[in-house]
Structure 1
């Protein structure tokens, strides 16, 4: 069973990841490159900023490593997408096996849609995908809120679908909206170097690409699982 899960997860993630990596090159990647150009156009430093730069020295200007434009960027972006897709496929398979769910194309797609809602759509309602140079709140606080929202949404979906009792469904709705009532951490200053039109388009395209990734993973898992079933002993 474990070998089958690993084989299907790796193959499904590889196929879905490569397809979505190609999709990213014509959707989100051009917007990221354009936003990076705006990000590098920093305003002239004030007197206080100049003193701060003197205190920190050259470390203030260290932006860290990033791949060069062109083929290196495409390679590393594609690699990250494939690794993400493999992880999603393994998580999807593990969840379906643990739940005792039948793994076929229809059920895998349904679970993939639920995964996108829990881990993509619901967190994006409070923390939309961001371009480089966008205003953002505290990183740790955002990560905590994102994880809590994804888990709460997954639990709510499970409760709502696995029971017909009205009380549990009301409780599921309460769990679903609780993170949004608490609210996602927001930036102290709403300033962004990238144009608002870029940010809105990037958020929409990122969600669309993520939906395609989940859907392709679900399709691949549903198609590959029956075909990699162990052959009965003769």
Structure 2
């Protein structure tokens, strides 16, 4: 078996487990908050977000995903439809209950496998994830890169919350994730003072520039509800990344029977 098949196998198992875990956590931690926000959205009338791009419980807590054009993306909802009439046809969306949960599970599994592929592929260039403990550290790095750093500028948003234009947010999110990843890599794997200083500058730079902000912050959503949502999204994503990293370490070690890099073992 070649390296590619090994990476895909490990990532598929880890992504499947982590995705299911995340979906279950969302069902109890974030989806109820989204449903509450939708009540305020309907009562507010003027503020409206597009719900057609994804199921409400699909990307609601995935601040690991770049801003997308839907109200439940944790990074940022679409700004282009923010002022659409409330009576506008929203198109198809999964029904509340099992159908909504099922779509959430599928979407989170796909997302989990995608991030697991990134984690496994990158880690192999640095010796691989030898055990679950190393996997936890890699998971923490993934959380910092894809959730924590972008979330400092683009907090997870509920329906009816204002947002800047989608493209600038996506650019800032991507640049922040890339700068954080490079910075952490320089600190951990290139231990020298000049590179550490450069790494810190890279990590801080996007936040000095600042994330794109909406023209107005007016929203019918109570501040307390939004705060609960931000905390819930952050915690669920932290658990997601810890589980993802740990499972990668366990499966990879069992699959290869060694802590050495798969690139060396199966070249």
Q: TM-score range by the shorter chain?
A: 0.7 to 0.9
Aligned residue runs from structure 1 range 134-213, under 5 A? 134-213=161-240
Unaligned runs of 5+ in 2: 48-84, 259-264
For 1:55, the equivalent position in structure 2 comes to: none
- 1:79-113 Cα offsets, whole Å, 9 max, x none, are 11111111111111011113333432222211111
Moved more, 59-68 or 174-183: 59-68
Work out whether residues 10 and 86 of structure 1, in 8 Å CA contact, stay in contact via their aligned partners in 2.
Answer: yes
> Structure 1 residues 106 and 62 mapped into 2: Cα distance closer, same or farther (>3 Å)?
same
Q: So what's the TM-score if we normalise by structure 2?
A: 0.77
User: Which of the residues 153, 173, 183 maps onto 1:126?
Assistant: 153
The CA RMSD over aligned residues, in Å, is: 2.2
Count, aligned residues: 220
Write the distance in 2 (CA, Å) between the matches of 1:161 and 1:44.
48
Computing the radius of gyration from Cα coordinates, the structure with the larger value is 1
Write the distance in 2 (CA, Å) between the matches of 1:137 and 1:152.
21
State the structure with bigger RCO (CA 8 A, min sep 6), 1 or 2: 1
Work out whether residues 131 and 199 of structure 1, in 8 Å CA contact, stay in contact via their aligned partners in 2.
Answer: yes
For 1:61, the equivalent position in structure 2 comes to: 88
Work out whether residues 96 and 103 of structure 1, in 8 Å CA contact, stay in contact via their aligned partners in 2.
Answer: no
For 1:25, the equivalent position in structure 2 comes to: 27
Q: So what's the TM-score if we normalise by structure 1?
A: 0.88
- 1:49-73 Cα offsets, whole Å, 9 max, x none, are xxxxxxxxx9971223221111111
User: Which of the residues 109, 115, 131 maps onto 1:82?
Assistant: 109
User: Which of the residues 122, 135, 155 maps onto 1:108?
Assistant: 135
* 2:42 corresponds to 1:40: yes
Write the distance in 1 (CA, Å) between the matches of 2:18 and 2:246.
9
For 1:48, the equivalent position in structure 2 comes to: none
Work out whether residues 37 and 158 of structure 2, in 8 Å CA contact, stay in contact via their aligned partners in 1.
Answer: yes
Work out whether residues 15 and 113 of structure 2, in 8 Å CA contact, stay in contact via their aligned partners in 1.
Answer: yes
For 1:94, the equivalent position in structure 2 comes to: 121
Unaligned runs of 5+ in 1: 46-57
For 1:51, the equivalent position in structure 2 comes to: none
Residue 211 of structure 1: CA displacement?
A: 0.7
Residue 230 of structure 1: CA displacement?
A: 7.5
For 1:3, the equivalent position in structure 2 comes to: 5
Work out whether residues 129 and 252 of structure 2, in 8 Å CA contact, stay in contact via their aligned partners in 1.
Answer: no
Work out whether residues 88 and 214 of structure 1, in 8 Å CA contact, stay in contact via their aligned partners in 2.
Answer: no
- 1:152-211 Cα offsets, whole Å, 9 max, x none, are 000110111122321111111111100000000001011112211111110111011011
* 2:255 corresponds to 1:228: yes
Write the distance in 2 (CA, Å) between the matches of 1:144 and 1:159.
22
Work out whether residues 16 and 82 of structure 1, in 8 Å CA contact, stay in contact via their aligned partners in 2.
Answer: yes
Q: Which has the higher helix share?
A: 1
> Structure 1 residues 44 and 188 mapped into 2: Cα distance closer, same or farther (>3 Å)?
closer
